[in-house]
Amino acid sequence: MERGVKTANVKSRSRKHNWVLAGWNALHRATLDVGAEISYEPWEIPELRNRPIADAGCYMALVQPLTQLLVQDLEAPSMRAEPARILIWRKLRMLGRRSHPDLWRLLAEDCQVSDPVQEYHQMQHASQTSVATTVPMSPVLAARHGYKLLWQTDRSDLDQVQRLLWGLALIGWSAHHWEQVATCELCFRFTRPGSRFCYEHTQSQTQDSERSAAYRRYRLGRKVHQLAEQRGKLEFLRGNSMLREARRRLALSDVIFEWEYEADAVADEFENLHDMLNLSPRVLGKLEPGALDLDFETLTEILREILDPYHWDPMLWGLTILQAEFWFSLEEESAPGKRGRGVTAQEQIRRAKALAQQGLRKSQIARELGISASTISQWVARGLY
């Protein structure tokens, strides 16, 4: 029921979309998210009624091609964010309508275009000023290309207003996709924009030969999801709806700005990453030996590849590692052939006993055998060990 309603909304929105406004709203929001917003306690400045405040210098640095449209300067050092967004939008609308009425109608007025990226490609191809490809742009590339376009003053084929309109339209198209990025209905991963399931659990877009394997992965995912639910761990695994919304928004701002973090923040994050990996033998087992010696960027790139390709933020991998570790442990528990206490478990108990006799602690034994410490505790409790 609910899904039906959602799909209907998405469809009606894509039919009547003002891509320029959508792009400007998304870029404005991303600018605040990525650091221009000043946080304050509502009681400190009650007259602001909890409205968003931005650092004017930071805001202008991130969206200068748009703030420079304004005749008057923005209030400094801090300003109310919403009036700035509206002022800039009015100015852009006035310029767009006056100097490029056709382009304005195409991108900003009722249902002229359903896919600005395709239009952009055609326009580029026609003018032949750059090597236009016919490969469709991904939402990620569209947002980045759109943001770059805002700054490209050296383009001979597009004037300033045209660049702003196309750039924002591309960002708006991308943002429209990011709105549909969700957490997989089963596990901890993000989905491809518009999908219900992550690459591991999707059954669509698979070749005939892979179909049964995809179905097995989906079945296993469903079992694990149920197991997590029974244990009250779904919220840990997938985040609550507020957290998911925040992650999604930050993902877009990260995609647009390709933000560089400060060295201190990266060093802290790196240390945290190592701590979490050392707690997560299953995740560590998927990495090449020596992965812990890699630099931050390479390590997060590899984590993105093996854990969650749509986790764009270079930060916040610590929680994802713990979620993945928990998910993999439940997968092991639910995997066919691992039910009951088979030969493998007997063998593991025998090896655990041997390691204990060598003086290893429970956590060390668990890591050695690739099982959780609580499994060993359960063996002890049942007198098997």
Contacts with Zn ion by CB under 5 A lie at 184, 186-187, 189, 198, 201
The CB-of-183 to Zn ion minimum distance in angstroms stands at 8
Residues 111 and 104 sit within 8 Å (Cβ to Cβ): no
Residues 217 and 200 sit within 8 Å (Cβ to Cβ): yes
Pick 112 or 329: Cβ nearer Zn ion? 329
Pick 85 or 189: Cβ nearer Zn ion? 189
Nearest Cα neighbor of 171 from 227, 120, 208 is: 120
Distance CA 25, CA 31 (A): 10
Residue 191 token pair: 């989905």
Pick 142 or 184: Cβ nearer Zn ion? 184
Q: Can you point out the beta strands (E) in the chain? A: 37-38, 53-55, 78-80
Pick 20 or 198: Cβ nearer Zn ion? 198
Nearest Cα neighbor of 237 from 324, 334, 333, 329 is: 324
Cα end-to-end distance, the chain, whole Å: 51
Pick 55 or 308: Cβ nearer Zn ion? 308
Which residues touch 12 (CB under 8 Å, ≥6 apart)? none
The CB-of-307 to Zn ion minimum distance in angstroms stands at 11
Residue 169 token pair: 């339209």
Amino acid in position 61: A
The CB-of-113 to Zn ion minimum distance in angstroms stands at 33
The CB-of-197 to Zn ion minimum distance in angstroms stands at 5
Pick 176 or 201: Cβ nearer Zn ion? 201
The CB-of-208 to Zn ion minimum distance in angstroms stands at 22
Closest residue to Zn ion in the complex (CB): 184
HEC profile of 306-334: HCCCCCCCCCCHHHHHHHHHHHHHHHHHH
Pick 147 or 327: Cβ nearer Zn ion? 327
Distance CA 335, CA 205 (A): 24
The CB-of-184 to Zn ion minimum distance in angstroms stands at 3
The CB-of-298 to Zn ion minimum distance in angstroms stands at 25
The CB-of-178 to Zn ion minimum distance in angstroms stands at 18
Distance CA 341, CA 384 (A): 11
Rg, C-alpha atoms of the chain:
25
List the alpha helices (DSSP H) in 155-238.
Answer: 160-178, 211-230, 234-238
Pick 269 or 331: Cβ nearer Zn ion? 331
Residues 111 and 17 sit within 8 Å (Cβ to Cβ): yes
